[in-house]
A and B are shown apart, each in its own frame.
Chain A
Amino acid sequence: MKISKLTAGAIAASIISAAALAHGGATGIVKERMDGMGVMKEAMKVLTPMMQGKTAYDAATVRREAKNIAAHAGNALTKLFPEGSLDKPSVAKPEIWQDWATFTALADQLQTFSDGLASASKNGLMMTGTAQGGMMGNTTTMGSGMMGSGTMMGSGTMMGGGMMGGGGMMGGQPDPGALAQMPADGVFMMLSQTCSACHTRFRTE
């Protein structure tokens, strides 16, 4: 009888922990940052089709989602990565703490670009010709053109800026005033490249 109670208790305990696992299994600070990343992911899910012209452009939505990202960028992001916090199911790499300067530079860059996107939301898309500022030419040149005319390094050499990822990719922190004048999709491209640069360096998959 006592044994069956124990068994029942064990079963109950395992059901509870199974339920916890169903919520991702993360606890504490790892859960907090994974939730924060989840908010940013949802924002990107809304923004991405809008920036591609697949859903109708709405400046207020862009502004709101950009602010959602901004709220989880910069210091709000890095403070959730105390040294060695790699408990499962975290997908963070230990390289974060070996190269903390790059990690924080990318988090700050995310802050700058998400704030910049909120400011640029009123500018619309250059793709559809609604943009006010055309400083970046057209969308097809954005992704590669930013880093050097679609060649390995631009200007006909194998070197040059844009070669390296990480914090140096964009040549330091951009000017918020300039970002506010850019078409929204231009800023969005820079923001998304920051997400990718950080995940590439500091996330396992």
Chain B
Amino acid sequence: MKRIIRLGLAGAVMASAGLAAVVAWPIGVPPRPFDLAGNVDRGAYLARASGCIACHTDVAGGGAPLAGGVKFETPFGTLYSPNLTTDKVHGIGGWTLEQFAVAVRQGISPDGQPYYPAFTYPFYGNFTDQDIADLWAAFQTVPPMAKASQDQDMTFPFNQRWGLKLWRAAFLEPPRTNPIPGNDDVWNRGRLLVEGAAHCAACHTGRNFAGARKSDTEHFKGSDALPGGGKAPAIDFDSLKKKGWTLDSLAFALRTGITPDGDAFGGAMGEVVLYGTSFLTEEDRRAMATYLLDDHSGG
């Protein structure tokens, strides 16, 4: 009996030591210091493409632009998008460019905590230093809103942020934005947008028990478990072609939300178009459609 207690105790000590190690485990890599002048227009464009506005603006609740507060119900609890305005206390007004770079590309907050992957940073990992500087410049033009970000309401054990370090180790993968040699600039531009900034796979790829994308087997095969219970159809090139999408009709839908059968996107895809792709250039929308409609399964 004593032996069992002793074993249990030893186990508990080891477990807590292991836990302490995980909690103390530093994540991410410090960025090379960079001092680039950002271009506000380019940054604003990239922010549109990346969905910053759509997720961080509580349109329905009449919230100020980028002041956060949009609710996301996930199987692991409820998340609220934080305030990204220039408010020094409640927003990101007190951040440095380097902290911003680490948050966007690596998903780590200025105090070293990992963000929940509901924040689509895994798609932004290949943003260039210039991209980051541009975004940063654009965010500086957002008026401060002194509104506290709402606390995340995750269930145990998902409310333990250290657990995300294990999640990162197991599931975090770089975005598939690397250009594929042999394909033209339009195709590769489409790839950069679709697999990066526009983060299409965030909704259009199924997720596993831990909320990670099943990117090996189900990339773009659709998902029926969006936050709040929505569904996203398959958008792999095969499915798109079977449904009759063409370069023209897909580019047009990304501009207007109108589909070839006369319907208009609703829900989350409506937001993507309304606050995102409708602001892009026609060239970029056609590049996205070009990539989506071509066989890119190997990439």
Q: Are A152 and B258 in contact (CB-based, < 8 A)? A: no
- The answer to whether A205 and B257 touch (CB under 8 A), given A52-B248, A144-B278, A152-B53, is no
Give the contacts of B212-231 with A (CB-CB under 8 A): 230-231
Stretch of B20-28, B74-82, B194-202, B259-267 with 4 or more beta carbons under 8 angstroms from chain A:
B259-267
Give the contacts of B257-299 with A (CB-CB under 8 A): 257-258, 260-267, 270-271, 273-275, 278-282
Tally inter-chain residue pairs, CB-CB below 8 A.
142
Stretch of A9-17, A128-136, A157-165 with 4 or more beta carbons under 8 angstroms from chain B:
A157-165
Q: Are B266 and A164 in contact (CB-based, < 8 A)? A: no
Give the contacts of B227-272 with A (CB-CB under 8 A): 230-231, 248, 252, 255-258, 260-267, 270-271
Q: Are B257 and A193 in contact (CB-based, < 8 A)? A: yes
Query: Quick check: is B121 within 8 A (CB to CB) of the other chain?
Result: no
Q: Are B266 and A158 in contact (CB-based, < 8 A)? A: no
Give the number of chain A interface residues (Cβ < 8 Å): 46
Choose from A46, A95, A144, A159 the contact partner of B60 (Cβ within 8 Å): A95
Q: Are A204 and B230 in contact (CB-based, < 8 A)? A: yes
User: Across the interface, which residues of B come within 8 angstroms of A86, CB to CB?
Assistant: none
Query: Quick check: is A91 within 8 A (CB to CB) of the other chain?
Result: yes
Choose from B41, B143, B248 the contact partner of A159 (Cβ within 8 Å): B143
User: Across the interface, which residues of A come within 8 angstroms of B142, CB to CB?
Assistant: 158-159
Chain B interface category by residue count = 35 or more
Give the contacts of A166-204 with B (CB-CB under 8 A): 166, 169, 189, 192-193, 195-204
Query: Quick check: is A54 within 8 A (CB to CB) of the other chain?
Result: yes
User: Across the interface, which residues of A come within 8 angstroms of B106, CB to CB?
Assistant: none
Query: Quick check: is A44 within 8 A (CB to CB) of the other chain?
Result: yes
Query: Quick check: is A61 within 8 A (CB to CB) of the other chain?
Result: no
Q: For the complex, give the distance between the alpha carbons of A153 and B143 in Å.
A: 13
Closest to A200 in B: B270
Q: Are B262 and A200 in contact (CB-based, < 8 A)? A: no
Q: How far is the CB of B264 from chain A (nearest CB, A)?
A: 4
Q: For the complex, give the distance between the alpha carbons of A165 and B59 in Å.
A: 7
Q: Is the interface of A mostly helix, strand, loop or mixed?
A: helix
- The answer to whether A144 and B57 touch (CB under 8 A), given A43-B262, A158-B47, is no
Q: For the complex, give the distance between the alpha carbons of A196 and B275 in Å.
A: 11
Q: Are A164 and B265 in contact (CB-based, < 8 A)? A: no
User: Across the interface, which residues of B come within 8 angstroms of A159, CB to CB?
Assistant: 65, 141-143
Give the contacts of A74-119 with B (CB-CB under 8 A): 91, 95, 99
Closest to A140 in B: B282
Choose from B41, B59, B258, B279 the contact partner of A144 (Cβ within 8 Å): B279
User: Across the interface, which residues of B come within 8 angstroms of A195, CB to CB?
Assistant: 257-258, 264
Q: Are B266 and A200 in contact (CB-based, < 8 A)? A: yes
Enumerate 28 A-B pairs (CB-CB under 8 Å) in ascending A order.
Answer: A41-B262, A44-B263, A44-B264, A46-B262, A99-B60, A143-B255, A144-B281, A147-B279, A150-B279, A152-B44, A152-B45, A152-B53, A153-B65, A156-B40, A158-B65, A158-B139, A158-B141, A159-B65, A193-B257, A196-B273, A196-B274, A197-B270, A199-B264, A199-B266, A200-B267, A202-B266, A203-B266, A205-B230
- Interfacial residues, chain B to chain A (CB-CB below 8 A): 40-41, 43-45, 47-48, 53, 57, 59-60, 65-66, 138-139, 141-143, 230-231, 248, 252, 255-258, 260-267, 270-271, 273-275, 278-282
**Extra A-B contacts (17), CB below 8 Å, given A147-B278, A156-B41:** A44-B263, A44-B264, A48-B258, A99-B60, A144-B281, A150-B281, A152-B44, A153-B44, A156-B44, A158-B138, A158-B139, A159-B143, A192-B256, A196-B270, A196-B274, A200-B271, A205-B267
